[in-house]
Structure 1
Amino acid sequence: MTGDIESIAGGLADIGTGAAVAGAIERGRGGGDGHTHEGACLNCGTNLVGPHCHGCGQRAHVHRTLGAFFHDLVHGVLHFEGKTWRTVPMLAWKPGQLTRQYIDGKRASYVSPIALFLFVVFLSFAVFSMLGGLDAEQPGLTGLEQAKIAYTKNEKSIAELEAKRAKADAADRIDIDERLKSLKDDQQAMKGVVGSVQSDFVEGFTENPLPEDSKLAQTIQHVRENPQLAIYKAQTSAYKYSWMLIPLSVPFVWLLFPFNRRFKGYDHTVFVTYSISFMIALVAVASLLFYVNAGAAAGLLLLYAPYHMYRQPLERDRIRLALLLVFACNAFARLILVVLSGQFSRYALLLAACAIPVVYGVTRCQLRHRPTLEPAT
């Protein structure tokens, strides 16, 4: 119970931090109306001709009260929230139009890409924290041994529930059946860990091992020895390395429009940042649905991105957007390698080097005409 409370408290703290950081990026500098009346800006000394300094943008009147401090905090968060209600619907259904309007200069109406990205990252990891993380590890036991212990406990719980079900009435059996289904699903998933089901992936590495001095081989060995620790490291590292999805994805988006003077690097970066923010938020919402046993709704939600891609009417744009989906998977796979190894893996760089000429050759044949449709999420 204490662990759940700590997870919820930590998650709420992350949400508050994300809102404060994003709100700080969005709101203007300086304080609200206060008790000072200045003829020159207190920040840069420019003569004031209105409620804001035309030199640095700071408000003309500042204040030094605690009430005003909290007013600024609430105003910043709510101001960010107000922009969010305009940004999220556009991002969900018309991401191309949102990107184009933001790039063309309509920026006061929408949350900036980096502010939205920071807020979504904080929000998503807060959700994952509140949903519950890994159980406390038992000292002196490897991840495989702990998995075996958990497997045995689940077997006992299943036997107890089945005995209880035989004596229960029809109303109680519904709840018992749900718990049994959940436990049996967990058992099926753990069979691959405790050795009841052999993985072709593991057998492949056993028959054709990687060089022992390679970073990838060492990483795989650590994961096999202690999978719980590897998952914990991946969870904490993903928080720090999530920003890497942006530079990993921008080159692939550029490959969809190579040497096109209409789209600049800034345009690609804005679109990628908005798209990644939306997908992270989508995964967070899907996680909540899985947590409340709404797996079907969560699965449909995760299919929204491919649906949005393939609802484009022209065949050449469907091909382009299908490639975009492949690029996204490639970038995510390379991020996983970086997260697990803790540093830039040479295998990740090799994947990128091999993918670029192949993708360029395919996309070059598809990009003879300027695209007329919006990009996909």
Structure 2
Amino acid sequence: MVGEAAAIGDVMTGALGARAVEPRAGEAYDATHAHPADCLNCGTALQGDYCHSCGQHAHLHRSVGAIWHDIAHGVLHFEGKTFRTLPLLAWRPGELTRRYIDGERARFVSPMALFLFGIFTMFAVIQALGGSLHTPTLSAEAQAETRTEMTRSIAANDESIRLMTVEKAALAERGASTAAIDRRIASVEEENRRTRIIMNEILGTGTTNADPFGQAPPTETGWKRLDKGIAKFRANPNLALYKMQTNAYKFSWALIPISVPFVWLMFAWRRRFHVYDHAVFVTYSLGFMTLMGVVLTIAWAVGLSSEVAWSIALLLPPVHMYRQLRGTYGLRRFNAFMRTIALATFAVVAMVIFFLLLLAMGALG
């Protein structure tokens, strides 16, 4: 039950994060509700649907029905543009990407909102189905190190929450909005919740040490932080894998800036395509890959064979890349095919870079 509850929390966190990125883009407003003459938050005279001084909406719901409306829109993100976006993302990704780039923003879910929701949902599904990224617990010494490290992280986050709570009280006393700091507090609390769950999982088992690098000699790359990360991985794989899971979850957005330069290289001589175009292309593509992972994981859990799941996971991404390249950049079949080969190669390189960054960053230091 703990895993399922945590997974539901992750999905809701992802939906709320996506909602924060795209709060009301293109949504119709119900004009049947009466507006107050002055903003209920700061008292400024209203001139439209929003206060031009503090940004608060002119109409505030105060009914039970409005609560369910807010849940549906704010958490589940169910709205017309979701159902317009997902079919195009699956079957005609190039058309979706091109239309969004060309200005149809209100009609579709933004690429970043879709990506955030996909990432949180993917990790939630993996966690709910028992797919935590850790190995059997190590020796008593390794267990003690793991417990100390995670306890230190929780304590640091608790101190951050305390300081932010003081800051929030000061903002509230001045009558300023606390929405931003509320989101920061919720994010840190979510990280602590996940840390406690993973710590219980890691320290709740106990078998033998297993070096994920096998019996190979120590690797020397010349990059000190990376070599240190590999050494720590060998010494305590459980702790290293826990940190990699946590940071892959937190820093998955880094795949976007890592990937964009590779796509830019394929069209560097075409001045009509800009970096923004490539960023939209990459983010929608990553959003599709995360949602594909969610669907395949659930299908595998309910009986789809591993062979079929892996076959789809290996064959579908290149097909999707090909269709998205053709539609987004107006390529002919052969040009799209050659660039798909290059893009698939770049995707593997980007994942390797991301993995190495996770090893080398301070989380493993």
**Aligned counterpart, 2:318:** 306
Q: Deviations over 1:300-358 (max 9, x none)?
A: 3212012344677632321111111111111111111111222499xxxxxxxxxxxxx
Answer yes or no: is 1:272 the counterpart of 2:282. yes
Indicate the larger mover: 277-286 or 54-63. 54-63
- Count of equivalent residues: 285
CA distance in structure 2 between the partners assigned to 1:343 and 1:279 by the alignment: 28
CA distance in structure 1 between the partners assigned to 2:94 and 2:363 by the alignment: 32
* CA-atom RMSD in angstroms: 3.7
**Aligned counterpart, 2:272:** 262
Deviation at 1:230, TM superposition (A): 1.8
Q: Deviations over 1:111-140 (max 9, x none)?
A: 011111111111011111111224773660
Contact kept? 1:33, 1:62, Cα under 8 Å: no
How does the TM-score come out when normalised to structure 2?
A: 0.66
CA distance in structure 2 between the partners assigned to 1:257 and 1:35 by the alignment: 50
Answer yes or no: is 1:327 the counterpart of 2:346. yes
Change (3 A) 1:36 1:315: closer
CA distance in structure 2 between the partners assigned to 1:323 and 1:35 by the alignment: 54
Alignment partner of 1:105: what SS? coil
Alignment partner of 2:140: what SS? coil
Structure 1 residues without counterparts, runs of 5 or longer: 144-189, 346-377
**Aligned counterpart, 1:12:** 8
Instruction: Supply the AA of the counterpart residue of 1:215.
Output: R
**Aligned counterpart, 2:117:** 119
Instruction: Supply the AA of the counterpart residue of 1:115.
Output: A
Alignment partner of 1:228: what SS? helix
Contact kept? 2:36, 2:59, Cα under 8 Å: yes
Instruction: Supply the AA of the counterpart residue of 1:296.
Output: E
CA distance in structure 1 between the partners assigned to 2:319 and 2:241 by the alignment: 30
CA distance in structure 1 between the partners assigned to 2:227 and 2:71 by the alignment: 49
Instruction: Supply the AA of the counterpart residue of 1:104.
Output: D
Structure 2 residues without counterparts, runs of 5 or longer: 144-206, 327-331
CA distance in structure 2 between the partners assigned to 1:19 and 1:112 by the alignment: 13
**Aligned counterpart, 2:70:** 72
Answer yes or no: is 1:247 the counterpart of 2:257. yes
CA distance in structure 2 between the partners assigned to 1:78 and 1:226 by the alignment: 39
Answer yes or no: is 1:28 the counterpart of 2:24. yes
Alignment of 1:1-377 (within 5 A): 5-28=1-24, 37-39=35-37, 45-48=45-48, 52=49, 60-65=58-63, 68-77=66-75, 80-132=78-130, 133=132, 134=134, 137=137, 140=140, 142=142, 193=210, 202-203=215-216, 205-206=217-218, 209-210=219-220, 214-294=224-304, 295-302=306-313, 303-309=315-321, 314-343=333-362
Q: Deviations over 1:195-217 (max 9, x none)?
A: 9xx95xx53x45xx527882222
How does the TM-score come out when normalised to structure 1?
A: 0.64
Deviation at 1:47, TM superposition (A): 2.8
Deviation at 1:63, TM superposition (A): 3.8
**Runs of 4+ off more than 6 Å:** 29-35, 54-58
Instruction: Supply the AA of the counterpart residue of 1:84.
Output: T
Alignment partner of 2:229: what SS? helix
Deviation at 1:256, TM superposition (A): 0.8
Contact kept? 1:20, 1:76, Cα under 8 Å: yes
CA distance in structure 2 between the partners assigned to 1:267 and 1:63 by the alignment: 38
Deviation at 1:239, TM superposition (A): 0.8
Indicate the larger mover: 106-115 or 215-224. 215-224
Instruction: Supply the AA of the counterpart residue of 1:227.
Output: P
CA distance in structure 2 between the partners assigned to 1:299 and 1:11 by the alignment: 23
Q: Deviations over 1:153-207 (max 9, x none)?
A: xxxxxxxxxxxxxxxxxxxxxxxxxxxxxxxxxxxxx999479xx95xx53x45x
Structure with greater contact order relative to length (CA < 8 Å, sep ≥ 6): 2
Instruction: Supply the AA of the counterpart residue of 2:129.
Output: L
